[in-house]
Amino acid sequence: MVNSRIILHIDLDAFYAAVEERETPKLKGKPVIVGADPKNGQGRGVVATCNYLAREFGVRSAMPISKAWKLCPQGIYVRPNFLLYAKVSHDIMTIIRKYSDKFEQVGIDEAFIDVTDKVNDFEDAGKLAEKLKKEILNKEKISASVGIGPNKLIAKLASDYKKPYGTTVVKPEDVKRFLDPLPARKLIGIGPKTEAVLKEMKIETVSQLAKADAKTLVDVFGVFGYRMHEMALGMDESEVAEGGEIKSIGRETTFEEDVDNPEIIFDAIDELVDEFHEELIASNIQFKTITIKIRYENFETHTHAKTFEFHTNDKELIKDTAKALSQPFLNVGRKVRLIGIRVSVLKFKEKQKTLLAL
Return residues touching ligand TTP (CB under 6 A).
11-16, 48-49, 61-62, 108-109, 163-164
**Nearer to Mg ion among residue 65 and residue 144 (C-beta):** 144
Q: Is 110 a catalytic residue?
A: yes
Q: Does 109 bind Mg ion (CB under 5 A)?
A: yes
The rounded distance, in Å, linking the Cα atoms of 170 and 160 is 12
User: In what side-by-side order are the strands of the sheet with 47-50?
Assistant: 47-50, 32-35, 76-78
Q: Contacts with Mg ion: how many residues (CB under 5 A)?
A: 4
Q: Binding partner of residue 8 among ligand TTP, Mg ion, none, CB under 5 to 8 Å per kind?
A: none
**Candidate list 20, 104, 110, 279, residue with the active-site label:** 110
**What's the Cα-to-Cα distance from 31 to each of 17, 36, 74, 113, rounded to whole Å?**
9, 15, 8, 32
Q: Which does 194 bind (CB under 5 to 8 A by kind): Mg ion, ligand TTP, none?
A: none
Does 11 bind Mg ion (CB under 5 A)? Our answer is yes
Q: Does residue 140 bind Mg ion (CB under 5 A)?
A: no
The single-letter DSSP state of residue 350 is: P
C-alpha span between 117 and 152 (Å, rounded):
16
Closest distance to Mg ion from the beta carbon of 160 (Å):
9
Least distance to ligand TTP from the beta carbon of 85, Å? 8
User: Of 48 and 132, which has the nearer Cβ to ligand TTP?
Assistant: 48
Closest contact distance (angstroms) between CB of 168 and Mg ion is 14
Site for Mg ion in 235-274 (CB under 5 A): none
**Would you list the DSSP string of 230-266?**
HHHTT-------SSBS-SEEEEEEEEEEEE--HHHHH
Least distance CB 246 / ligand TTP (angstroms): 13
Nearer to Mg ion, 15 or 224 (CB): 15
C-alpha to C-alpha distance for 24 and 245, rounded to whole angstroms: 29
35: left (phi over 0), alpha (psi -120 to 50) or beta: left
197: how many CB neighbours lie within 10 A of its CB? Answer: 13
307 Cα distance to chain centroid: 25
Residues lying near Mg ion in the complex (CB under 5 A):
11-12, 15, 109
Active site residue ranges: 110
